[in-house]
Structure 1
Amino acid sequence: MTVERSDASVVTEDKEVTRPPRLAIDATGLMFWPPGEGLAGIPRVESFLINAALADPDPRVEVVAFRSGRFRPLAPFEQEHVATGEISPWRVKKWPGRRIALSEAFEAVRQYPWGKRDTDRHLARTVTNGRKGIGFQATRLLIFAYRLYRRVGLGLRLEAEPLAARAEPGPVLISHHILTSEDRSAVSGGAGDVAFLCHDLIPALRPDLLGAGTRETRFGSYLEHLVRSGAPAFCASDEVGATLTDHMRKAGIAAPVVYRFPMPSILHETASRAGKTSRIEVAEPFVLYCSTIEVRKNHILLARIWQQALDEGAKLPRLVCAGRWGWMIEPLRAFLKAHPKLLEQVTFTGLISDEELIRYYRSASFGVFPSHIEGWGFGASECLDFGIPVIVSTAPSLIEASGGLMPAIDSQDQQGWYAAIRKMAEDHAWRSSLVGRIAQNHRPTPATASWAAIKAGLQASASRRSRF
């Protein structure tokens, strides 16, 4: 007789025969992010998850990366690359030394001889503990030579050995990089059970706003493959969960299991630890838009509005656009070039630090977020975290991110946006009433609450799969 338990263990009348499965967070995507560079959007969320898992003392929780044909625990240099806070002492890994690391790299090649150049580079970094230089290059060539030798020994047969036989229990919450990678072996089913973060479906719904890169064009098919395989989805907004379900229904695919988790107030928590959340009064009022500058974010609408104000002789506060320059922004650049005086009223900060961004939130008069489509919209929820009102577009996820508390206007309605921005700037009583609404109805979401929801979802997923 067997009995199913909530911790996904299976017991007999005499004793437990299997251990609870691991709950793994994939750090592969963050390994491609340059060290020390500011994180935004998806990388910021993945960094939060990885560091929450590293700090969790629960021995079932792991942080892994997809290397050499399977999800493996992070190497020491990988931990150093992704860690931004405390790591549970038992989880800290030490470099075993060059000789042992090289032996382990050769064993990885023996098991996975069909790897590519990226695999060789990674294995070389494990041997040199992340260091680059002549030693790294020599090691990479040595590993590549051994890979060729293994392939010849196999008679040039590059078919993968069944990974399932040596895969560990899941589920693994895969990174966005794995979801959009050209190498589908990580989600083929052989590397173990997987779950995925569904940040949004923008590449499938609005490819015109993202360009035609390989990752974007394959996103929809990869997503459908995951859902067909039974992988559950983790969504930060109800809107994305509903959109995912509807998208699969239209594709003739059974609805996925969706776990909802609250988006953490990561920046506000950083500010709280530093004691920097109180309001800062500045001499010159300004309006803040925090977002990557790309076509989807609709910065050109704001540029036209501030130019309209100049043409009409109306006084608007300075517009500060905080964020890196992205893609498909040629029309915006052309508009700015055609209206050079506009840059006297609009500031593009480029990439800034968290400390600088916190200062902007603490001192802005109000925020704007006119994006055409979003999965969440950190810039909107962060305005509320810091107690400042924000005008958002009618994109459902933005209304959800701002709790339905803030004015919402269609992203194509320039006159509606112009009127709302002028009213927010000039009608102090209205703006104060929105500040009061935020104080009464909104609370920043602790990172611990988000991590608890993710972890509970992974446990539920493991338990559900163990029944089949």
Structure 2
Amino acid sequence: MHVAFNGWFWDQPYTGSGQYLRRLLGGLRDLAPDLRLSLVVPAHIRTLDDLPPNVDVLPAAARFGGHPGKVWFEQRSFPHAVARLGADVAHVPYWGPPLRISAPLVTSVLDMIPVLLPEYRAGAMNRLYTGLVSAAARGSAHVLTISKASKIDIARELSISPERITVTPLAADERYHAEGDRGADRAVREKYNLPDEFVLYLGSFVAHKNVRMLLSAYTFVVQAVGENVPLVLAGHPPAAWGTARFPDLPATIDGLGLGGVVEWTGPIDEADKPALYRLATVFAFPSRLEGFGLGPLEAMASGTPVVASGVSSIPEVTGDAAYLVAPDDSRAMGGAILSLLTDANFAADLRARGLERAAGFTWRRTAEGTLAAYRQVVEAGRAG
């Protein structure tokens, strides 16, 4: 079997789509060494680092720059490359499939956030692109997604039969583990000026990440423990606060009187993330909507107890290995954080459960489900 991949995100390994593509390709190569894999990349990608062995690479023109070039690559360049390769299956590992293609099409829809959240639908171009890829996804031979919650959303919003949707959960990278190098961890602590104890939020600051609720929750933490355990906000700040997508968190911090207890790190180097998780006393993840929720899984794999919202796909990831609360209940989230800060036995129990839970998610499992979907569409094509 010959599978051709859309490799648009190969040079963006720290985005969700880029990480998914890289890990999936490696998992498939380990699982099925005889599987022929081709990666079709836009011509602007000059360096293909971390490419698994025996993967053919075919550059294809994007024709234009920016978003129009991406659409051209998805709708014209990738289909032409698939026809040239004579692939048995074409896989687009993100929500950007072509309307027409010569091979059975498998599309990975990691989440339905662009449809479910109004701030992502603003603007005619966004609505046009979402309509295009929605129509193309409906024409796919099979759809892959990464959680049962996302499968339900896809079936409902795109009117795709659940039988045509397969859930293939993600996994934490093997570098996320509880036993780190003490010297390296100490260097990360010094690099970001981190205290001995802190509660960590690591991620984006878009509205659905619900960081404003976490800030409200922290007022209850401060009332109990004072300012000795700061809340560390780690991630890339937006170009501008106070928009529909990015609420004004600095103003919220000032309004809540948390200026002395909230610390911003700014962007975190990817190599530093495992140590950052390990150093944190508690990891907080208040998000309202996730395709999967890799942050809690990475934290659990790193041996850090997790407090999170019990909605969307998050309970599928954490099981009973995290303290889950309602996404609108700041008092409950504050109480959950306090429980882990003040009860060492409870924190140790949740840490142990988190390590066990995280070990159950592997990229081999992801690859197995993906390979089964390929075989299904190929056999269906032969039968048809």
Q: 1:233 aligns with which of 137, 143, 157?
A: 143
Structure 2 equivalent of residue 355 of structure 1: 271
Per the alignment, residue 180 of structure 2 pairs with 276
TM-score, structure 1 normalization: 0.66
How far 1:51 moved relative to its partner?
A: 4.8
Amino acid at match of 1:302: L
Q: What is the CA–CA distance in structure 1 between the aligned matches of 2:289 and 2:33, rounded to whole Å?
A: 38
- Which structure exhibits the higher relative contact order, with contacts defined as CA atoms closer than 8 Å and separated by 6 or more residues? 2
What are the equivalent positions in structure 2 for 1:113-262 lying under 5 Å apart? 116-118=63-65, 168-176=86-94, 179-180=95-96, 187-208=98-119, 210=120, 212-213=122-123, 216-218=126-128, 220-249=130-159, 254-255=161-162, 257-262=164-169
Change (3 A) 1:275 1:380: closer
**TM-score of the two chains, using structure 2 as the length reference:** 0.79
Distance (whole Å) between structure 2 residues aligned to residue 296 and residue 54 of structure 1: 35
* Equivalent position to 2:6, from 5, 14, 26: 26
| 1:205-236 Cα deviation digits (max 9, x unpaired) | 2223x361556424653354134324311111
Amino acid at match of 1:27: G
Query: SS at 1:448's partner residue?
Result: helix
- Check 1:52–1:83 CA distance in 2 against 1; reply closer, same or farther (3 A cut): farther
Q: CA deviation at 1:187?
A: 1.2
1:319 to partner: Cα distance: 1.5
For residues 37 and 57 of structure 2, the distance between their equivalents in structure 1, rounded to whole angstroms, comes to 15
Structure 2 residue runs of 5 or longer lacking an equivalent are: 70-75, 190-194
The residue number in structure 2 matching 1:378 is 294
Corresponding residue of 2:338: 422
> Whole-Å Cα distance in 2 between the matches of residues 346 and 46 of structure 1?
35
Instruction: Output the amino acid matched with 1:287.
Output: V
Equivalent residue letter for 1:61: L
Distance 2:158 2:279 in 1: 43
The residue that corresponds to 1:292 in the other structure is: 204
Q: What is the root-mean-square deviation in Å for CA atoms of aligned residues?
A: 3.7
SS in 2 for 1:173: strand
Which residue, out of 215, 219, 225, partners 1:303?
A: 215
Amino acid at match of 1:24: A
Q: Percent identity?
A: 19
Helix, strand or coil at the partner of 1:320: strand
Partners in 1 of 2:353 and 2:371 — Cα distance? 32
CA contact (8 A) 2:202 2:235 kept: yes
User: Counterpart of 2:47 in 1: which secondary structure?
Assistant: helix
Aligned length: 361
Q: Give how far 1:306 is off.
A: 2.6
Shift of 1:451: 2.5
Q: Distance in 1 between matches of 2:141 and 2:270?
A: 34
Match of 2:16 among 27, 38, 41: 41
Shift, 1:275, TM fit: 7.2
Residue of structure 2 in register with 1:387 after alignment? 303
Q: Which has the larger radius of gyration?
A: 1
Residues 318-377 of structure 1, C-alpha deviations (whole Å, 9 max, x = no match): 2122222247224213223546x6343222222212321111111211211110111111
Shift of 1:316: 6.1
Cα distance change of structure 1 residues 190 and 263 upon mapping to structure 2, 3 Å threshold: closer
